[in-house]
Structure 1
């Protein structure tokens, strides 16, 4: 199994009228429930629209995002599936429910971090 990040950019849902959000929310929650029932759901959330801060490698904090940043993540889902094709199929369901395009990227898991999580019982 592999984990995939399915995400959309902040502002991608701005075209949805306020009165349509309950329907979009219901459709999105239905896809989440389907993924939970299928045993592939790991985690997902929307992100508050706010200015981000960047913490540098030296620990300093700088307000951001910077002007050269083209996109900021607005929400995401993490799923655990057998193939990229399966991840793309779930992303299509999410895209229809959320009424916006989704980006799909495989998560590169660190074997040592996975070992530490298993030992911690997670």
Structure 2
């Protein structure tokens, strides 16, 4: 799974009514998947914060005008170079599969899911 799918899946699985999913094993699988995805999303956020701290020049806040714009552009470039491969890399999260009936229950509860989010659910959870 690519990291870019993590937030889509997390959004799709959060705030669903587990009682609408009949199979207890699938209910537990949803909870386990939310935990695993949350931990991975948290790790990525931490990496982003660390990268900003490391790449940001010490005098960044005191810069003004054109100097600040140049420093900001350079910072964004470094962050992009650092984060892009990490966002695109495969993540070895072992998500638990759900039955087709449980996936349908999630779709019925989350009417606002985009086509991409639905595809992610089917791809990684079914």
TM-score by length of 1: 0.25
TM-score by length of 2: 0.25
Going by fraction, where is helix more abundant, 1 or 2?
2
Pair member with larger Rg: 2
